[in-house]
Amino acid sequence: MYPWYFFGFFGLALPCIGITEKPVWPVDRYSYLLDAVLLGMIAGALVLILAGIKRQWPIWVGLAVILVASTTASMRLLSVWKNTDTLFSHIERHPDFGSSIVQEAHIYLLWHIQLMTEGREEEGRDKLAIANETYLAAMRQALQEGNYEYAVFLSRVLEENIGITPEICRERAAWLFKLGRRDEGAKELARAAADLPNDERVKQLEETYKAAMQPPPP
């Protein structure tokens, strides 16, 4: 009889693995796999403990109290998952929202993806614009602080998730040169020059870093 408890538990736990979800979210769901295994072990241990105890009702009452208390405590979170807007609006209002620029921009990026999936394209484009501006604002702040390493990192993340303009590529070349990463800077500047052949800033950088732009001897 007891093996059926295990099958029942894993059947109920399957949604936690993400099988029933729409494939528009990041792979955070895989962190639930460990939870499923851990809870399965706890459930199995309880079954084995109960199997060796004659007077089981106090344990069942205790488990029922824990379940009711946990459910009551989590009731306030149910409304958060009502729909896309309530979920992301709740995240947006959280006191820690904005403490990580990359995470903040990624939230708006996920919001954009979900809105586009729902056919709300205008709203989706608005969220994408917010994500883009969040990255750009963080890059400007990093440059004001002279943190070229972080500016390069943010530009890479922006390029991977949204895309960058030739002008950002051009400026990233300058940041890389300042960091002493001459080979990377030369590649970025050559890439920017291909998109901005008549740009004065590109020509200035090419002149400044002429030695780095020279091809290696055969």
| pLDDT of 79 | 73
Q: Measure the CA–CA gap between 91 and 109, rounded to whole angstroms.
A: 13
Residue 180 placed within a domain: no
Q: Measure the CA–CA gap between 156 and 50, rounded to whole angstroms.
A: 55
Residue 49 placed within a domain: yes
- Residues 47-69 have pLDDT tens digits of 777 777 777 778 778 878 877 77
- Residues 79-138 have pLDDT tens digits of 777 777 888 888 888 888 878 888 899 899 989 998 999 899 999 999 999 999 999 999
Higher-confidence residue of 13 and 131: namely 131
Residue 12 placed within a domain: yes
- Distance, C-alpha 139 to centroid of its chain: 18
Residue 39 placed within a domain: yes
Higher-confidence residue of 147 and 43: namely 147
Give residue 13's domain range: 3-79
| pLDDT of 60 | 76
- Average pLDDT of the segment spanning 154-168: 94
State yes or no: pLDDT of 27 exceeds 50. no
* Structure tokens given for 103: 């995470």
**58 half-sphere exposure, CB direction, 13 A CA radius:** 4
Residue 54 placed within a domain: yes
**54 half-sphere exposure, CB direction, 13 A CA radius:** 0
Confidence of residue 29 (pLDDT cuts 50, 70, 90): low
Residues in the chain: 218
| pLDDT of 218 | 58
Q: Measure the CA–CA gap between 197 and 90, rounded to whole angstroms.
A: 46
| Global model pTM greater than 0.85 | no
Residue 176 placed within a domain: no
| Residue 114: partners with Cβ closer than 8 Å, 6 or more residues away | 24, 84, 88, 124
| pLDDT of 157 | 92
Helix boundaries (H) for 79-100? 84-93
Residue 69 placed within a domain: yes
Residue position matching structure tokens 């708006």:
108
- DSSP letter at 83 equals S
| pLDDT of 69 | 78
Residue 62 placed within a domain: yes
Q: Is the dihedral of CA 143, 148, 150, 154 positive or negative?
A: positive
Tell me how many domains the chain contains.
1
- Average pLDDT of the segment spanning 18-27: 49
